[in-house]
């Protein structure tokens, strides 16, 4: 399969402008600025079937079209490069190895909504990537791809790289905007939505790194070429970050709809050491874990994974073999969400920590039988009742671990110790 | 204002476009429980207590941030809604210390009230509560208990949006989130104690009121703040015939939901201290107790026999009292100049949100009743200082301590041949008087104040005056008797009826219709809001 997103990865000096240009870089950007109207660009992206790769899978062209054209306020394009989802490291690869693809995609998206200021909000911990991005942006400015009067068209666009301060919640788009505004990284109550009231109260589109980085390819090859890949509703290719008990971990680009089991066993080399697969999280730490029997017929596209009871999410695939203690794994994830809950709304602020404390008790031999139903009840009380999707992100995995590995939890509680590792 | 038809719990409601579900529900008396929502603050949406079911929407929606739409069906009592309320309360209470017995908020706490209404379950939480600071002083008037806080951020938003002074913020994350002052900041803005009123729980309490009395023992009387001429609507809350606190009363035409700190605590200065309960007259260099009959006779005779006299009424006297005082001054002598006490000071921008520059809640009313010389209060004081009067009648104000030149005022008053002081305490001014008449203060009176903008509002007696003291109006009526002009009215209502006939701007205002929200001058009885 042709690589769209990883096409420059592995090329020497792939992060340099000269390398990027030698491989056709910024031609799409020139084509957009010189020959395309914003509406035409939006129509092309709509026609490609591209859906947001941040996790929710919202159609990208449609998102852009929500930006009001008659609003006198400035419009902003913001790239969400705050990749923090546990088990997810695909955006990081693009930022570090192919920053110009991200920049070119960001410029194209900004043009689509006629923004004159675009921001790349990068996770604070990604210092190496941020440095590369800064240098790449400088290169792009010097080459005249960004700034005033781009390609002599009269179109101005500034591009600002902003480093976050290291909170998972700032990957939630409205928390990201709060943080970018200089405030506390708190999600905003919706409505209003960012399309009309985003950054500094102005119309704003927030797109993920992977979503933006594929735009130059779509412009270059046409929407039909993109739409020809993937399934009926999940078009194109997607990056998967594979980690855990797997022979060949790493970032993979797959055509949407690729069989999950085949991917794990053939592309990634399966579970090493002759061990059996115990479970796999398909879409990052916030998505429900799937048991081996549940992935038999699952394909890696939005619809198929959802039908199996989980979500494709960020494509962070976390593989666990039979030696994994599911109590410990569940506690580990619960601890992450308790630590990262922003504390703004009641169910998440209190519920995440409550669940973590109960998981901690079970893991440390202090669990009681009623704890399992209590966690299920708490997660149900968080689910759907919070300001932002973080509550769901904490509630879903907690409930899934208990429902799918209940016998293991019960044994842990009964024997007051781990029955897997010891 | 486009009408929008919705149903709430099956009941059809016609409301207007732009309203939120919580507002539309309130209009028909359906109280949707909430913590973070406050009608005067931006929508935070963080408490999740107001989640309701909207037909055809998969998830519950917060009523505070959901705008009404034609045909919308709202369910506030469905099983899903009742369940989520219970769960939100459980979340809010797991880390709460439940220290109600020592909490000032107990009895008016929305955690207690909603727990009884919506929760009523045993705690399922036994894994260790988060501890926080129990008594952090936020400012001169406000103290913070972090463990009781539910992070609704009303206080933070108040300081951001109403006073725009930004003292408070949220720090830390998750269940360790807490409210804090910015470094090197104090919550000491002129409206700071309003955060106590809007705190739905016991996290922010009033340092003045703290631990004084259980709130369920308080008797509450609607009244008007005596602090300045803005005329903020308040509830005077008393215990054992003493004022325990002022609380704001909502009046969108005057003070909205707020009162200033100066007004909130002004009752201390106005009511503390030893009360006068016996009239006094000066004999052989000292003040000696006499009967009311003796005192009034001496006062009346003394005032009538002097040549030129100054009559100064307190800005806290009611319209009814001012009306009588003006009549009385005319009877004393044609050379009696009368004025209502009035002093201005400069105000900061934040003070200007509510405060007026004076400390005379009824100066406008008093002037309209005719308590007015042509010159004004300051020139009248200058004339007193210059020795322009031989006598003075001073009601309810200590001219010496309120002056920027107390020694000069004292010397001037000492030179008067006759001084009558009518007050609640033996003030510095009263100590110089020839006759001292023990009177009552704003908290013991019924009557009306007219605020700076011309709104007539009612004050009500919250306290019983001590034996021996007389209402100012009674003293004026008895002195009028003495001067030979017996009045046919007696109660504040009767006096008001008389003044409403006499004073053109009060025509048509009926005392009974002033109610607890007041009436604009000139609007007759039609101005009830």
Give chain B's domain count: 3
Query: Residue A167 sits in a domain of what CATH number?
Result: 3.40.50.11540
Residue of B nearest to A371 (CA): B124
**Residue B356 predicted with pLDDT over 80:** yes
Residue of A nearest to B96 (CA): A350
Domain co-membership, B313 together with B242: no
**Residue B528 predicted with pLDDT over 90:** no
| A17-31 pLDDT per residue, tens | 999 999 999 999 999
Confidence of residue B526 (pLDDT cuts 50, 70, 90): very low
Asked if A345 and B90 come within 8 Å (Cβ–Cβ), the reply is no
Asked if B174 and A189 come within 8 Å (Cβ–Cβ), the reply is no
Q: What residue has token string 């705008």?
A: B67
Q: Which of A352, A361, A385 sits opposite B48 (nearest CB)?
A: A385
CB atoms within 10 A of CB B380: 24
Which CA distances in Å does B354 have to B32, B167, B232, B453?
30, 19, 8, 12
Q: Is residue A7 part of a domain?
A: no
Q: Which of B88, B90, B173 sits opposite A341 (nearest CB)?
A: B173
Which residues in chain B touch residue A361, judged by CB atoms under 8 angstroms apart? 127
Domain co-membership, A317 together with A347: no
Domain co-membership, A222 together with A243: no
Domain co-membership, A186 together with A263: no
| A81-118 pLDDT per residue, tens | 999 999 999 999 999 999 999 999 999 999 999 999 99
Q: What residue has token string 């043009």?
A: A111
Domain co-membership, A183 together with A74: yes
Residue of B nearest to A359 (CA): B127
Tell me what the mean pLDDT of segment B282-307 comes to.
Answer: 93
- At residue A154, the pLDDT reads 96
Answer with the one of B271, B295, B318 that is the final residue of a domain.
B271
Domain co-membership, B332 together with B201: no
Answer with the one of A276, A291, A321 that is the final residue of a domain.
A321
Tell me what the mean pLDDT of segment B484-507 comes to.
Answer: 93
Domain co-membership, B138 together with B248: yes
What are the DSSP E strand ranges found in B353-416? 391-395
Query: Residue B256 sits in a domain of what CATH number?
Result: 3.30.70.20
The answer to whether the beta carbons of residues B324 and B445 sit under 8 Å apart is: no
Nearest-CA distance A3 → chain B (Å): 39
Q: Is residue A198 part of a domain?
A: yes
Answer with the one of B207, B240, B271 that is the final residue of a domain.
B271
Share of chain B above pLDDT 70, in %: 99
The rounded Cα B239 to chain-centroid distance in angstroms is 17
Q: Is residue A395 part of a domain?
A: yes
Domain co-membership, B150 together with B61: no
Answer with the one of A289, A321, A353 that is the final residue of a domain.
A321
Residues of A with CB under 8 A from a CB of B: 167, 184, 189, 191, 338-347, 349-354, 357-358, 360-361, 374, 381, 384-387
Query: Residue B313 sits in a domain of what CATH number?
Result: 3.40.50.740
Which residues in chain B touch residue A354, judged by CB atoms under 8 angstroms apart? 91, 94, 125, 127
* DSSP-derived secondary structure letter, A292: G
Which residues in chain A touch residue B37, judged by CB atoms under 8 angstroms apart? none
Query: Residue B37 sits in a domain of what CATH number?
Result: 3.10.20.740
For B3, the 3-state DSSP assignment is strand
Bigger pLDDT: B139 vs B523: B139
Tell me what the mean pLDDT of segment B432-450 comes to.
Answer: 97
What's the rounded Cα separation, in Å, for the pair A140 and A101?
A: 11
Q: Is residue A315 part of a domain?
A: yes
| A254-310 pLDDT per residue, tens | 999 999 999 999 999 999 999 999 999 999 999 999 999 999 999 999 999 999 999
| C-alpha closest to that of A113 among A60, A165, A150 | A60
According to DSSP, the residues that pair with B313 across neighbouring strands are B340
Query: Residue A384 sits in a domain of what CATH number?
Result: 1.20.1440.230
What's the rounded Cα separation, in Å, for the pair B456 and B320?
A: 12
Domain co-membership, A83 together with A120: yes
**Domain assignment of residue B222, given as a range:** 96-113+121-271
- At residue B152, the pLDDT reads 98
| B445-458 pLDDT per residue, tens | 999 999 999 999 99
* φ/ψ (deg, to 5) at A179: -65, -45
Residue of A nearest to B45 (CA): A189
Residues of B with CB under 8 A from a CB of A: 43-49, 51, 59-60, 62, 65, 84, 87-88, 90-92, 94-95, 124-125, 127-128, 130, 150-151, 169-170, 172-177
According to DSSP, the residues that pair with B184 across neighbouring strands are none
Tell me what the mean pLDDT of segment B146-168 comes to.
Answer: 98
**Residue B473 predicted with pLDDT over 50:** yes
Domain co-membership, B63 together with B159: no
Share of chain B above pLDDT 90, in %: 94
Rounded to 5°, the CA angle B309-B315-B319 comes to 95
**Residue B524 predicted with pLDDT over 70:** no
Domain co-membership, B145 together with B223: yes
Asked if B95 and A342 come within 8 Å (Cβ–Cβ), the reply is no
Residue of A nearest to B35 (CA): A346
Per-residue burial over A207-239, b if 16 or more Cβ lie within 10 Å, else e, is bbbbbbbbbbbbbeeebeebbebbbeebbbbbb
Domain co-membership, A191 together with A309: no
Domain co-membership, B193 together with B47: no
Asked if A341 and B84 come within 8 Å (Cβ–Cβ), the reply is no
Return the sign of the alpha-carbon dihedral for residues B421, B426, B430, B432: positive
The rounded Cα A158 to chain-centroid distance in angstroms is 25
Domain co-membership, A29 together with A87: yes
What's the rounded Cα separation, in Å, for the pair B283 and B264?
A: 40
**Residue B525 predicted with pLDDT over 50:** no
Confidence of residue B527 (pLDDT cuts 50, 70, 90): very low
Query: Residue A275 sits in a domain of what CATH number?
Result: 3.10.20.600
Domain co-membership, A365 together with A264: no
**Residue B529 predicted with pLDDT over 50:** no
Domain co-membership, B446 together with B402: yes
- The two structure tokens encoding residue B447: 């009557």
Q: Which of B46, B60, B174 sits opposite A387 (nearest CB)?
A: B46
What's the rounded Cα separation, in Å, for the pair A214 and A217?
A: 5
Domain co-membership, A285 together with A382: no
- At residue B284, the pLDDT reads 87
- At residue A422, the pLDDT reads 63
Least confident range from A360-369, B133-142, B234-243, B371-380: namely B371-380
- At residue A166, the pLDDT reads 84
Domain co-membership, A241 together with A386: no
Domain co-membership, A160 together with A211: yes
Domain co-membership, B16 together with B77: yes
Which residues in chain A touch residue B151, judged by CB atoms under 8 angstroms apart? 343-344, 346, 349
Domain co-membership, B100 together with B88: no
- The two structure tokens encoding residue B118: 């919506």
Answer with the one of A170, A204, A227 that is the final residue of a domain.
A227
**Domain assignment of residue A95, given as a range:** 17-227
Domain co-membership, A95 together with A163: yes
């Amino acid at each position: 399969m042709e690589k769209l997103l990883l096409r420059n990865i592995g090329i020497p000096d792939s992060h340099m402008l000269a390398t990027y240009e030698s491989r056709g870089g910024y031609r799409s950007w020139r084509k957009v600025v010189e020959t395309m109207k914003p509406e035409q660009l939006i129509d092309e992206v709509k026609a490609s079937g591209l859906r947001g790769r941040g996790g929710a899978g919202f159609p990208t062209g449609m998102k852009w079209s929500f930006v009001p054209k008659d609003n006198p306020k400035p419009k902003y394009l913001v790239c969400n490069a705050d990749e923090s989802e546990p088990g997810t490291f695909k955006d990081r690869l693009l930022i570090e190895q192919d920053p110009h693809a991200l920049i070119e995609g960001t410029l194209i998206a900004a043009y689509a909504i006629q923004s004159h200021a675009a921001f790349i909000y990068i996770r604070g911990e990604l210092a190496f990537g941020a440095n590369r991005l800064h240098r790449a942006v400088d290169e792009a400015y010097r080459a005249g791809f960004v700034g005033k009067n781009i390609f002599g068209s009269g179109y101005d666009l500034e591009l600002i790289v902003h480093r976050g301060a290291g909170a998972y919640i700032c990957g939630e788009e409205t928390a990201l905007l709060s943080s970018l505004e200089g405030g506390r990284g708190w999600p905003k109550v919706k409505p209003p939505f960012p399309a009309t009231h985003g950054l500094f109260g102005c119309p704003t589109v927030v797109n993920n790194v992977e979503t933006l980085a594929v735009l130059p390819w779509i412009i270059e090859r046409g929407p039909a070429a993109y739409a020809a890949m993937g399934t009926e509703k999940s078009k194109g290719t997607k990056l998967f970050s594979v980690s855990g008990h797997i022979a060949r971990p790493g970032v993979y680009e797959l055509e949407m709809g690729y069989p999950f089991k085949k991917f794990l066993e053939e592309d990634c080399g399966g579970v090493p050491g002759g061990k059996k697969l115990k479970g796999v999280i398909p879409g990052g730490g916030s998505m429900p874990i799937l048991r081996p029997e549940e992935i038999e017929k699952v394909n890696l596209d939005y619809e198929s994974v959802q039908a199996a009871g989980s979500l494709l999410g960020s494509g962070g695939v976390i593989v666990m073999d039979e030696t994994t203690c599911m109590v410990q794994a569940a506690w580990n994830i619960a601890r992450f969400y308790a630590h990262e809950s922003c504390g703004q709304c009641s169910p998440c602020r209190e519920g995440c920590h409550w669940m973590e404390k109960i998981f901690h008790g079970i893991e440390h031999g202090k669990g009681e039988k009623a704890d399992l139903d209590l966690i299920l009840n708490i997660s149900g009380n968080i689910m759907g009742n919070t300001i932002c999707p973080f509550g769901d992100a904490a509630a879903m995995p907690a409930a899934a671990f208990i429902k799918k590995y209940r016998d293991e939890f019960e044994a842990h509680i009964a024997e007051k110790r781990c029955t897997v590792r010891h | 204002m486009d009408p929008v038809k919705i149903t709430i719990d099956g009941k059809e409601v016609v409301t207007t476009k732009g309203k939120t579900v919580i507002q539309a529900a309130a209009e028909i008396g359906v109280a949707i429980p909430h913590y973070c929502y406050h009608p005067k603050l931006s929508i935070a949406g963080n408490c999740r207590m107001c989640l309701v079911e909207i037909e055809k929407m998969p998830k519950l929606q917060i009523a505070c941030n959901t705008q009404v739409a034609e045909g919308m069906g709202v369910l506030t009592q469905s099983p899903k809604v009742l369940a989520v309320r219970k769960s939100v309360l459980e979340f809010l209470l797991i880390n709460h210390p439940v220290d109600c017995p020592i909490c000032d908020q107990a009895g008016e706490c929305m955690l207690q009230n909603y727990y009884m209404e919506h929760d009523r379950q045993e705690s399922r939480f036994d894994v260790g509560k988060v501890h926080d600071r129990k008594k952090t002083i936020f400012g001169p008037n406000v103290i913070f208990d972090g463990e009781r806080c539910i992070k609704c951020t009303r206080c933070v938003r108040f300081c951001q949006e109403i006073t725009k002074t930004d003292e408070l913020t949220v720090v830390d994350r998750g269940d360790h989130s807490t409210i804090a002052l910015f470094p090197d900041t104090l919550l000491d803005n002129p409206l700071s104690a309003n955060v106590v009123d809007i705190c739905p729980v016991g996290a922010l309490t009033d340092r003045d009121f703290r631990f004084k009395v259980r709130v369920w023992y308080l008797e509450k009387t609607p009244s008007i703040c005596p602090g300045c001429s803005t005329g903020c609507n308040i509830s005077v809350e008393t215990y054992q015939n003493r004022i325990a606190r002022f609380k704001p009363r909502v009046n969108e035409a005057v003070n909205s939901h707020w009162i200033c700190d100066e007004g909130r605590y002004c009752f201390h200065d106005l009511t503390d201290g030893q009360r006068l309960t016996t009239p006094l007259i000066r004999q052989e260099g000292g003040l000696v107790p006499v009967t009311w009959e003796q005192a009034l006779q001496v006062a009346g005779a003394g005032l009538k026999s002097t040549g030129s006299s100054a009559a100064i009424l307190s800005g806290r006297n009611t319209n009814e009292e001012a009306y009588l005082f003006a009549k009385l001054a005319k009877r004393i002598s044609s050379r009696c100049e009368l004025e209502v006490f009035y002093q201005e000071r400069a105000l900061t921008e934040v003070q200007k949100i509510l405060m007026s520059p004076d400390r005379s809640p009824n100066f406008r009313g008093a002037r309209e009743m005719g308590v007015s010389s042509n010159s004004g209060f300051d020139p009248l004081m200058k004339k007193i200082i210059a020795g322009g009067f031989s006598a003075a009648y001073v009601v309810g104000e200590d001219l010496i301590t309120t002056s920027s030149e107390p020694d000069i005022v004292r010397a001037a008053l000492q030179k008067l041949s006759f001084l009558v002081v009518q007050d609640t305490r033996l003030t510095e001014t009263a100590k110089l008087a020839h006759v001292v008449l023990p009177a009552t203060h704003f908290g013991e009176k019924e009557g009306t104040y007219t605020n700076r903008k011309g709104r007539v509002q009612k004050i009500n007696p919250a306290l019983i005056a001590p034996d021996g003291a007389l209402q100012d109006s009674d003293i004026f009526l008895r002195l009028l008797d003495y001067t030979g002009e017996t009045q046919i009215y007696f109660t504040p209502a009767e006096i008001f009826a008389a003044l409403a006939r006499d004073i053109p701007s009060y025509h048509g205002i009926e005392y009974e219709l002033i109610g607890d929200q007041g009436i604009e001058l000139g609007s007759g009885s039609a101005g009830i809001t």
